[in-house]
Structure 1
Amino acid sequence: MTLNDTISTLDGDATFGAYVAKPEGTPRAAILVIQEIFGVNPGIRQKCDKFAADGYLAIAPDLFWRLEPGITLDPDVEREFQTALDLMNRFDQDAGIRDIEATIHHIRQTHGVTKVGCVGYCLGGRLAYMTAARTDIDASVGYYGVGIDGLLGEKHAIAHPLMLHIPTADGFVSRETQAAMHEGLDDHPKVTLHDYEGLDHGFATEMGKRRDDAAATLADSRTAAFFEAHLV
């Protein structure tokens, strides 16, 4: 895979790779793209490339670097899907958030872009919520984030806008979990929730059998308008 940037950890005792896509000219803002459980794979890199085409500096840090640096997996290959589940189970999410925070600092200090948003998918959708609660990110978007009902105790710390895309037939997020998210977040002044009736997990992936073109286009248009409103 192509990791074309290097980021220092917050402690400065190690470095990890990232994929960066740069726009033509001065970036409008920066978007940190948070991976699924499949690493910084072609789909995540394509997300970055699309944001760069829209004028953003886009960067996807390799959050699995402590487990298997540079890994890239295909969710449509069963053996690779099982490998991804194993990585997710071993992944230290708190360390991942610190690496995301280090990436925010890297964007601002090394790339010189002050306004930074993030967008995450699957595991990355959960991490996007955690990033909104635990860092000074300017705007966050999460697609089909898992286990967010267990993070509602942190909602008071969300100081900047957060949007969550929720497919109602998500095989990894039960209806009860979705209901808890709505109950806990619908009245939060900084949070917007969008439901996608009958859609499953991964509907907005760039490639592969999980994608639903119509729903992905709708969700991505909402994300684009959200970043336009809060980053530019």
Structure 2
Amino acid sequence: MSETATIETLSGEQTFSAYVARPEGAPRAAIVVIQEIFGVNPGIRRKCDRLAEAGYLAVAPDLFWRIEPDVELAPDVEAEFQRALELMDKFDQDQGIRDIEATIHWIRRSEGVAQVGAVGYCLGGRLAYMTAARTDVDASVGYYAVGIDNLLREKHGIANPLMLHIAGDDGFVDKDTQTAMHEGLDDHPKVTLHDYPGLDHGFATEFGKRRDEQGATLADERTAEFFARHLG
């Protein structure tokens, strides 16, 4: 079952929407699903639906709401891809983390689910790392996160488990950045990195030409095991 929820910002002065997918019966835990640069589009909603099928309460907040509410873009359409890049340039990532934190608070307070994880893709993968470093989320997963080399100074804040899936031939995360991620995080007791040689950015998308079925299946299985171990 899915619905649209309204969530208050941390200040309580404004609200934003979120896509919510509910499991049958009581949820085993909750997971915040963090969008790519394409908004809460059909692919992100499908991620939520899959998590609900696995027994989780899944919530995908509209993080672009301050720029343009209810954005839904298709990555395989060039004009929409360019629009997504424009939105990313305008997006305040620090504010986005505060909205993710507000979503975590809403889940615990309004839904009564204590254990909350997060999973993000692309920009959302970067935000999943930031969420792990800046909030009390219980477990986080980032797929093909961008720019993590610029966030390694925050790794001391990661107190709960974090898993990152790294595409070996990522057009947005070069080899030097991947090396820096390993050098900075391999010895962190809470962080696990998985490499996917030969795969490009977006390999685990639900729809479209970017998806690699074998890579997506492997990454998603690892994510499922990770959440089963660390949530609930």
Same fold, judged at TM 0.5 (above): yes
> What residue number does 2:43 align with?
43
Partner amino acid, structure 2, of 1:186: D
Aligned counterparts of 1:77 and 1:17: Cα–Cα separation in 2: 25
Q: Are the counterparts in 2 of residues 3 and 70 from structure 1 also a CA contact under 8 Å?
A: no
> What residue number does 2:149 align with?
149
Q: Are the counterparts in 1 of residues 3 and 21 from structure 2 also a CA contact under 8 Å?
A: no
> What residue number does 2:110 align with?
110
Q: Are the counterparts in 2 of residues 8 and 14 from structure 1 also a CA contact under 8 Å?
A: yes
SS at match of 1:4: strand
RMSD after superposition: 0.8
Q: Give runs of aligned pairs for residues 140-179 of structure 1, distance below 5 A.
A: 140-179=140-179
Aligned counterparts of 2:3 and 2:76: Cα–Cα separation in 1: 23
> How far did residue 179 of structure 1 move?
0.1
> What residue number does 1:82 align with?
82
> What residue number does 2:219 align with?
219
SS at match of 1:118: strand
Residue 65, structure 1, aligned to residue 65, structure 2: yes
> How far did residue 188 of structure 1 move?
0.2
Q: Give runs of aligned pairs for residues 88-103 of structure 1, distance below 5 A.
A: 88-103=88-103
Q: Are the counterparts in 2 of residues 3 and 17 from structure 1 also a CA contact under 8 Å?
A: no
> How far did residue 3 of structure 1 move?
6.2
Aligned counterparts of 1:67 and 1:167: Cα–Cα separation in 2: 29
SS at match of 1:106: helix
Partner amino acid, structure 1, of 2:177: T
> What residue number does 2:206 align with?
206
> What residue number does 1:184 align with?
184
Runs of 4+, deviation exceeding 2 Å: none
Question: TM-score, with normalisation over the residues of structure 1?
Answer: 0.99
1:62-81 Cα offsets, whole Å, 9 max, x none, are: 00000000010000000000
1:18-58 Cα offsets, whole Å, 9 max, x none, are: 00000000000000000000000000000000000000000
Aligned counterparts of 2:73 and 2:3: Cα–Cα separation in 1: 15
Q: Are the counterparts in 1 of residues 161 and 230 from structure 2 also a CA contact under 8 Å?
A: yes
Partner amino acid, structure 1, of 2:108: R
Residue 130, structure 1, aligned to residue 135, structure 2: no
Q: Are the counterparts in 1 of residues 39 and 64 from structure 2 also a CA contact under 8 Å?
A: yes
> How far did residue 161 of structure 1 move?
0.1
SS at match of 2:151: helix
SS at match of 1:38: coil
Which 5+ residue runs of structure 2 have no aligned equivalent?
none
SS at match of 1:49: helix
Aligned counterparts of 1:103 and 1:32: Cα–Cα separation in 2: 8
Aligned counterparts of 1:172 and 1:67: Cα–Cα separation in 2: 23
> Aligned pairs, how many?
231
Aligned counterparts of 1:102 and 1:64: Cα–Cα separation in 2: 15
